[in-house]
Structure 1
């Protein structure tokens, strides 16, 4: 599983933040590498909570690929329309990150222009990417998951970026509270805590 490192210190570690590359975002990343091919040099990026939309936006900006507007769906539509016009005048690619899907746009001129933009969406991660995300999140916390953890946890985890993050945080917390290494009993309890009664009976 490959990663993209960003020169941005993680809040809980000295290591840079990392974007895990997998089935969910590979196509998105390939598109972000080639903004000259976007219709009107504009793309809209969506995805579920904690899926890495903002991290990809920062990487795009740091690479000098173009301008980024995060949480674009929350901005005043007239202001956003002016941003789009300026990007066109300057010949600068414009990446808009939206927290809402679908994104309802009331202003007709803006709606027609963004309707022609390239639409990119981060999908749900598969088992391989879930394992990569867990490994990266544990590394950021200096958490040793224990032998066999990824093989055990990946197929049992909900295919949600936010839930995967909560799962690793819960394993870390339980390990610290119990002053014990993260092994099978902690993995089980963390899965139950995060997923509750809906946890599949694969134990």
Structure 2
């Protein structure tokens, strides 16, 4: 079958609370985000594996709290007083370890946001005591931050996430695709994301619907 031209069509990523499916794997994290006004010390560390839903929950929290969102790597060049005029979510804090300028800026942001009476949300892939932050004062403040984790997804969450990602791409798979994939892919949110992307690309390239047969072909190629 001749292949069609494949175009990168816009993907509508749904980050609303109504788009976040709650299961036993993430219920504790959702409860903490929704109860943000009761965080001890007005701060929280939200941790979980890649593609586990951290960014989605950050956006949910920003909507609830009016918070600003910034990548930890961008804090070094940010206007800290302006940023600290509201609550702040700082994503991927574990990725700035050893970046002296970014660590120093985050330390000042941490102190100023709390001094102004606002709240802080940090994200990373594991607990703050495993973040190799070199600045001792920042490390101690992060390690003293209350923690909630997004756990490994169960079948219900994997299915819901897959359905959401297909919906974001305006793809409607046949009814047997999702249960077929859930039984065969790695049990991680990152695997779900990679599988949906690969299926969407294959369907566009071949001009086919996303069916179980196409899913089998794509999985076979992904190894």
Please classify the TM superposition score into its range, dividing by the shorter chain length.
Answer: 0.7 to 0.9
Name the structure, 1 or 2, with higher relative contact order (CA <8 Å, separation 6+). 2
Q: TM-score normalized by structure 1?
A: 0.80
Equivalent in the alignment of 1:190 = 218
Q: Does 1:108 align with 2:136?
A: yes
Contact 1:68 1:95 in 2 (8 A): yes
Q: Does 1:171 align with 2:192?
A: no
Answer 1 or 2: which has greater strand percent: 1
| Alpha-carbon displacement from aligned partner over 1:38-95 (angstroms, at most 9, x marks no partner) | 2211111222222221222122112116321122232622221111211221121110
> In 1, distance between residues paired with 2:50 and 2:140?
27
Q: Does 1:138 align with 2:176?
A: no
Equivalent in the alignment of 2:176 = 148
Contact 1:131 1:154 in 2 (8 A): yes
Of residues 79, 87, 94 in structure 1, which corresponds to 2:113? 87
| Alpha-carbon displacement from aligned partner over 1:93-132 (angstroms, at most 9, x marks no partner) | 1101225652122222222222221112222211111110
CA root-mean-square deviation: 2.2
> In 1, distance between residues paired with 2:117 and 2:92?
22
Where do 5+ consecutive residues of structure 1 fail to align?
1-9, 197-203
> In 1, distance between residues paired with 2:114 and 2:156?
39
Q: Does 1:96 align with 2:96?
A: no
In structure 2, the CA distance between the partners of 1:179 and 1:11, relative to structure 1 (3 Å rule), is: closer
Where do 5+ consecutive residues of structure 2 fail to align?
1-8, 67-86
In structure 2, the CA distance between the partners of 1:11 and 1:44, relative to structure 1 (3 Å rule), is: farther
Q: Which runs of 4+ in 1 moved over 4 A?
A: none
Equivalent in the alignment of 2:77 = none
Q: Does 1:29 align with 2:25?
A: no
> In 1, distance between residues paired with 2:47 and 2:124?
5
Q: Give SS of 2:218's match.
A: helix
Structure 1 residue 16 displacement after superposition = 3.8
How many corresponding residue pairs? 185
> In 2, distance between residues paired with 1:98 and 1:120?
11
Structure 1 residue 167 displacement after superposition = 0.8
Q: Does 1:77 align with 2:91?
A: no
Equivalent in the alignment of 2:11 = 12
